[in-house]
Amino acid sequence: MNFGKRPHFFRVLAVLLPFTLFPILDKNAYHVDLMTTVGIYVILAMGLNVVVGFAGLLNLGYAAFFAIGAYTYALLNIHLGCPFWPGLLAAGFVAMFFGFGVGIPAIRVRGDYLAIATLGFGEIVRIAFNNLDRWTGGPNGILGIERPKLWIPSFKNGFHVEVWKFSVNATPYFYLTLFLAAVVAYLLFKLSDSKIGRALVAIREDELAASCMGISTLKIKLYAFGISSFIAGIAGSLFAAKQTIVTPDSFDFVLSVLILAMVVLGGMGNIWGAALGAVVLGILPELLRDFAGYRMLLFGLVMIFMMILRPQGILGGQIIKRELHRRAKEIDNGAP
């Protein structure tokens, strides 16, 4: 499809606009709430995709950045009365700050060590939120986080600004999540077309060749890490504002792996792929309610067989497939 001068803008609009009809067509409040959670997963999966899909680095502590975002907004709101919108940005930046903090030392080490370093970081963050009772409420978490507010100009009885507050009703959250997902998707499409995006793919394909072409691989990888953490932070503040409560156990290793499974299933390196993976794995547990115990078993199997049978994921292109099975034919026997 040719969308003229602003292809990404219209592409994102074309894909996400139909979803605005969802709360109108399906009045079931539970379904709308579920889809809001799925929307948060979509944002997270798109964010993780920057590191895993674009840069080919494995971040196994992604839930930690999500947690940092959630706690940033929660703490700012509880102690300083910070409203949602500045809290959203603050959450993104604080998460990004920590992303750099982990990334700067970790990115220098070998690729698979990064996975372990981020995993360790994820555990440290969760344990820290759990043990720093004085600030974070320990295992009980933080309660009573303020919901977002909107300022709507009104011309009834002369001009004034009406404050409209979000409530338990999930529908406004659904639209807010959809809006943020659209913004993130749009910016990521722009990113993948930019110099940084191309450099990231070049690094993933062949780091040595990329650095020979004058790409500062360390810097570019760090950008990816920062952007990805920022997105997780935003998703975290959204989550905190929706739940109005944050507890450390919402952000465990299982969540990190779940988001990774979404990216892998949908197709690493593909923005819509990550989103699709999030929708599938987000809704699946609801459809398989009777088999709730088998859910995690299924995630494990998805990851194993996806890597063997279709490493590029549902929507992955041929390039990533070739990369992931690069030397399988050359070496038919034994280790690399």
Contacts to other proteins by CB under 8 A: 52, 56, 58, 60, 105-106, 109-113, 115-117, 119-121, 123-124, 127-128, 131, 208, 253, 257, 260-261, 264, 293-294, 296-297, 299-304, 307-308, 311, 323-328, 330-331, 333-336
Amino acid at 269: G
Residue 122 or 172: the one with the smaller Cβ distance to other proteins is 122
User: CB–CB of 39/22 below 8 Å?
Assistant: no
Q: What are phi and psi of 21, to 5 degrees?
A: -80, -15
User: CB–CB of 55/204 below 8 Å?
Assistant: yes
Residue 34 host element (H or E): helix 29-49
| Shortest reach from residue 181's CB to other proteins, in Å | 24
| Shortest reach from residue 305's CB to other proteins, in Å | 8
| Shortest reach from residue 6's CB to other proteins, in Å | 34
| Shortest reach from residue 233's CB to other proteins, in Å | 21
Residue 245 or 296: the one with the smaller Cβ distance to other proteins is 296
Give the largest CA-CA distance in the chain.
Answer: 80
| Shortest reach from residue 57's CB to other proteins, in Å | 8
φ/ψ region of 81 (left if φ > 0, alpha if ψ in -120 to 50, else beta) reads left
DSSP string, 176-188: HHHHHHHHHHHHH
User: CB–CB of 197/79 below 8 Å?
Assistant: no
Q: Find, among 230, 236, 140, 247, the residue nearest to 188 by Cα.
A: 230
Residue 18 or 334: the one with the smaller Cβ distance to other proteins is 334
Residue 112 or 286: the one with the smaller Cβ distance to other proteins is 112
| Shortest reach from residue 304's CB to other proteins, in Å | 4
Residue 7 or 139: the one with the smaller Cβ distance to other proteins is 139
Reduce the DSSP state of residue 166 to 3 states and report it.
coil
Residue 81 or 336: the one with the smaller Cβ distance to other proteins is 336
User: CB–CB of 62/250 below 8 Å?
Assistant: no
